Chain A
Amino acid sequence: MKEQENVKQGSLKKGQNKNGEGKLVPCLLIGISVLFLLIMLVFPLVEVIYRSLKEGFEVYQNAMTASNTLSALGVTLIATVIALAVNTVFGLCASWLLTKFDFRGKNVLSTLIDIPFSISPVIAGLAFIMTFGRVGWAKPLIDWVNEVFGMDISLVFSVPGVVLATIFVTFPFVSRELIPVMQAQGSLEEEAAAMMGAKGVTIFRRVTFPHIKWALLYGMILCTARALGEFGAVYAVSKARGKTFTLPLEIDALYMAGSSDSITQAFAVSSLLVIMAVIILILKQVVEYRGKREQ
């Protein structure tokens, strides 16, 4: 069905093009675009794989099973899962609030939510150091909590710090995908359900959720992608290799070590993230396609 539609549209457009522009312009534009994307996007991918395998499979395998790499993989996964959970809860609440109700300061709130998008990730890391670090104003508070409850938690230069930084940079990802969809949907259906006596949870589960599930999934995929690869923000609050380093930080450490062996290892670890990136892109494409088809 979809294919047929595409073909139809395509032929229509080809006919139209013959009126306005010859064959040369489209070919030229397609050519330049393809060339640009080949050089900018495809070449780097090939380069990573090539460099990671340059010194044989054994080196590759060693790099992958090094204890630092495994620890980094663990921290990365922890940070990603928590960031994803937190931002999904936040995204659902924020988009419900911003699309189902009218209140004063709505525009301000929606602008504030998008702040992490336009801020340097380094500043995000800095923000947590200034709050919870040695010099931060909230440091006495944390010390007090630790003392009273007999705990030893520190929020920067530790795994919790990495998690906080990751949450910060991925904060608006889910809400930004949900808001347009929920806005387009309006709130008439929800109002009707509420009038008929449905509870909040039921309204969300039975009325709203079916409309937004693909957008939600899409936002979650984007959030995962960013969380897996965040570098600047995490770099500011993580200093202990093998303990609080994430995969991108481990790559940095290996690359900066400078010897040709360690650089190859850096690319080997990179290839792991490249594979994850490609899987994420494929998932994203599938979700996008399914979402469009259901509409």
Chain B
Amino acid sequence: MSRKAKKGKSVVPGFGLTMGVTIAMLSLLVLIPLASVLVYAFHMSGKEFLELMMRPNVKQAFITSISCAFIAAVLNCVFGLMIAWVLVRYEFPGKRLMDGMIELPFALPTAVAGITLSKMYSEEGVLGRLLQNIGIKASYTKVGLTIALVFIGIPFVVRALQPVLEKLPDTYEEASTMLGASRAYTFRRVIFPELMPALLTGFGLALARGIGEYGSVIYISGNSAKEGTQVVSYIIMQKLNSGNVDYEGAAAIALVLLLVSFFLLLLINIIQITAARRTKQ
């Protein structure tokens, strides 16, 4: 780019207009409403806040949301890597159809996915009965909850990996094979490090989505405080819905949930940057 374009002195028109529209819309529709949540959360005193967070059902909800989203994201990385690899590297009938289907979880409303999965994995459902035979109860347990999160998260990982795999030059692999490395060794030491940043991006997106997910999990999880299957989003919603509305509590829990998501995304970014530096060396 020419040096002239620096510092907003570009010859291309529209800087003021687009800046104005972008900032105005972003502030009005996203930032100001979010800031209200922050402000509202601070209506609480520190002691009340701690008391709320230490309540068994709140604590349990955070543990459930984070652990289930984490397990689901790991599963998504395993299967997502496999699916992306298959879609990029192999030719087989039905490949185009399979590729088009990956985004179904984005296109299918979460409530529809939620009620469907919940019925499928219940005792009367096809897959639920199958799992029951090997002693696993899926619907209304954490297993079901995790299955719903795998469903929601799979496109994030596949779509993050696909472009990187497509651009990955064959020459590295060829060199590795020529030098006598086994296929598994080549994958582990040559291909995998190249995919790592994209895989982490996909992992992060799936995790962030999973931690905050509402629609697809509330039906299959059963929302039982005793079984520990309430998720954080459910607790927040409960505070908005039940007879005695508790806006302050909802805002406080929402704030913690926001902080957790940002912290995790930050952590993943740091790992990613470190990994990128290592590859460059």
Contact B101 A41 (CB under 8 A): yes
B52 CB to nearest A CB, Å: 15
Most buried by B among A118, A229, A235: A118
Residue from B82, B108, B233 within 8 A of A232 (CB atoms): B233
Q: Is B250 an interface residue (CB 8 A)?
A: yes
* Interchain CB contact (< 8 A) of B219 among A25, A36, A255: A255
Q: Is B73 an interface residue (CB 8 A)?
A: no
Does A247 count as interface, using CB distance less than 8 angstroms? yes
Contact B110 A248 (CB under 8 A): yes
Contact pattern, A 256-281, Cβ under 8 Å of B = 1, otherwise 0: 00000001001100100110011011
Name A42-77 residues within 8 Å CB distance of B.
42-45, 47-48, 51
Q: Roughly how many angstroms separate A79 CA and B251 CA in the complex, as a whole number?
A: 25
Whether B111 and A231, one on each chain, are in contact in the complex, defined by CB atoms closer than 8 angstroms, is yes
Asked if B127 and A40 sit within 8 Å, CB to CB, the answer is: no
Contact of B108 among A123, A247, A273 (CB under 8 A): A273
Bound state CA distance, A193 and B35, in angstroms?
41
Known: A109-B22, A194-B13. A13 touches B30 (CB 8 A): no
Residue-wise, chain B 87-103 has the 8 Å CB interface mask toward A (1 for contact) of: 10111101010111111
- Which B residues touch A122, using CB under 8 A? 212, 214, 233, 236-237, 254
Interchain pairs with CB closer than 8 A, number: 302
* Docked complex: A7-22 residues within 8 A CB-CB of B: 9-10, 13-14, 16, 19-21
**In the complex, which residues of chain A have a beta carbon less than 8 angstroms from the beta carbon of B36?**
127, 130-131, 136-138
Q: Chain B interface residue count: which class?
A: 35 or more
**Once the chains bind, are A103 and B7 in contact (CB under 8 Å)?**
yes
Minimum CB–CB distance for A59 against chain B, Å: 16
Considering the complex, give the chain A residue whose CB is closest to the CB of B239: A126
Map CB proximity to A onto B212-224 as digits: 1 under 8 Å, 0 otherwise.
1111000100000
Q: Any chain B CB within 8 A of the CB of A112?
A: yes
Assuming the contacts A40-B151, A93-B21, A126-B37, asked whether A190 and B115 have C-beta atoms less than 8 A apart, the reply is no
Q: Does A251 contact B (CB under 8 A)?
A: yes
A241 interface hit (Cβ, 8 Å):
no
Which of A117, A122, A171 lies at the interface centre, i.e. has the most chain B CB atoms within 10 A of its CB?
Answer: A122
For A96, list chain B residues within 8 Å (CB): 14, 18
Return A173 CB to nearest CB of chain B, in Å: 10
Q: How far is the CB of A248 from chain B (nearest CB, A)?
A: 4
| Interface range for A | 35 or more
- Give CA–CA (A41, B120) in the complex, Å: 12
A-B CB proximity, top 3 nearest = A120-B212, A229-B109, A232-B214
Q: List 19 A-B contacts (CB under 8 A).
A: A9-B91, A13-B89, A43-B126, A44-B108, A93-B21, A97-B15, A97-B22, A100-B15, A103-B8, A109-B22, A123-B37, A127-B37, A168-B30, A203-B12, A229-B112, A235-B214, A255-B219, A263-B119, A270-B115
**Which residues on A are within 8 Å of B, measured CB to CB?**
6, 9-10, 13-14, 16, 19-21, 25-26, 29-30, 32-34, 36-37, 39-45, 47-48, 51, 86, 89-90, 93-94, 96-97, 100-103, 109, 112-113, 115-131, 133, 135-138, 164, 167-168, 171, 186-188, 190-191, 194-195, 199-200, 203-204, 222, 225-226, 228-232, 235-236, 247-249, 251-252, 255, 263, 266-267, 270, 273-274, 277-278, 280-282, 284-285
Which residue numbers of B lie inside 8 Å of A, CB to CB?
Answer: 1-2, 5-8, 10-15, 17-19, 21-23, 25-26, 29-34, 36-37, 39-40, 79, 82-83, 85-87, 89-92, 94, 96, 98-113, 115-117, 119-120, 125-127, 150-151, 154, 170, 173-174, 177, 183, 186, 205, 208-209, 211-215, 219, 232-233, 236-237, 240, 247, 250-251, 254, 257-258, 261-262, 265
